[in-house]
Amino acid sequence: MPFLNEVKQKALGFVSTNSGALLTAGGVVGTVATAVLAGRAGYKYSEVIRKEQDSRLTVTELGLVDTQQPLPKLDKWEKAKLSWPYFLPPIITGTATISAIIFANRMSAQKAAALAAAYGLAERNLSEYKEKISEKLTGPKAQQVDDELSQDRVNKTDGYQNIVIVEGEVLCFDEPTARYFRSTMENIKSAVNAVNAEILNHDFASAGFFYEEIGLPGTSWTDEIGWNRDSLVELKYSTVLSPDGRPCIAIDFKIPPRADYIPKHY
């Protein structure tokens, strides 16, 4: 019994964790099964109706079909009684498929809402923490803390070896996505201005827009977050050293991009 209970608990845990994927898979399989069963039911229906109509033909005394008599027609009720056993399976399968798709969509929406709420809470806590730190540490001390944090992130991230530095450009490190790139302070500031201009002209801009401006491809994360008129883009800069001792500019957002950055009227 303990073994069976353990198996049951693991099965329930697996179903709970992967419920969305299982319902989606059920919807896909159900769609194919419904189409196959509906096709078979249509073929059976035409065959049964044809046989029933043929059996009602009047026959002459000589055993020949009386072609002068019109073919008898089946009414809708009679057709339904003959065909319902064949159409019942696709109806059941189709209903189950629709239910699976609806439940999968609801669960995905609930998970997305939960993630958005968790992200909002984490963002609020981080903002409050930063505000409190800024009250306690000002000027050079605050910059020193930022520089040390940036240096720690740089030390933990490889990839600087693959960056070729062109004359006039320096090695840069993007802290939010942990990626190296080459640029200049002028280009980075120009990218910030371009994003803020986009926000002022169109009410919002995605983080992917900023990364395109500095020459980095977007990611699944940057395409889902951004800024609006409530908070324009501001960067903080730290001067650090790459693991091989090269000067490196680390950049981070003063106000992190948000998932709910698109105004509701869009």
- pLDDT tens for 208-245 read 999 999 999 988 888 889 999 998 999 989 888 887 78
Decide if 204 contacts 162 (C-beta within 8 A): no
* Best-predicted range by mean pLDDT (15-19, 187-191, 218-222, 246-250): 187-191
Q: Two tokens at 151?
A: 């240096």
The answer to whether residue 68 scores a pLDDT higher than 60 is: no
pLDDT at 2: 56
Helix, strand or coil, per DSSP, at residue 215: coil
Q: How many whole angstroms separate alpha carbon 220 and alpha carbon 213? A: 17
Q: Please give the C-alpha separations between residue 209 and each of 119, 194, 215, 253, 258, in angstroms, as whole numbers.
A: 21, 9, 10, 14, 14
pLDDT at 153: 75
pTM, two decimal places: 0.53
* Residue 248: closest CA among 139, 129, 153: 153
In this prediction, residue 208 carries a pLDDT of 93
pLDDT one-digit tens code per residue, 124-170:
666 666 666 666 666 677 777 777 777 877 777 776 555 555 567 88
Of the pLDDT bands very low, low, confident and very high (cuts 50, 70, 90), residue 61 is: very low
pLDDT 10s digits, 86-129: 778 888 888 888 887 887 777 766 666 666 666 665 666 666 66
According to the model, what pLDDT value does residue 62 have?
A: 44
| 39 phi, psi to nearest 5 deg | -65, -45
More confident residue, 26 or 210: 210
| Separation of alpha carbons 20 and 26, rounded Å | 10
Query: Mind giving me the DSSP string for 118-176?
Result: HHHHHHHHHHHHHHHHHHHS-THHHHHHHHHHHHHHHHT---GGGPPPPTT-EEEEETT
CA-angle at 108, arms to 103 and 109, nearest 5°: 100
- Read off the pLDDT band of 60 (50, 70, 90): very low
Give residue-wise pLDDT tens across range 33-51. 888 878 887 778 777 777 7
What is the per-residue pLDDT for 9? 58
* First and final C-alpha spacing in the chain: 57
Residue 225: name the closest of 146, 107, 123 by CA.
Answer: 123
Distance CA 245, CA 201 (A): 42
Give the span between the Cα atoms of 181 and 165, in whole angstroms.
Answer: 9
The token pair that represents 139 in the structure block:
């000027």
Q: What does the pLDDT read at residue 123?
A: 64
Q: Which one, of 242, 180, 167, 246, lies nearest residue 214 by Cα?
A: 180
Give the pLDDT score at 251: 92
- 50 residue type, one letter: R
Q: Output DSSP code: residue 72.
A: P
pLDDT at 113: 65
**Contact predicate 100/31, CB 8 Å:** no
**Cα-based distances in Å from 81 to 43, 52, 184:** 16, 12, 79
Residue 205 has pLDDT above 50, yes or no: yes
Name the percent of the chain in helix, strand, coil, to the closest 5.
Answer: 60, 10, 25
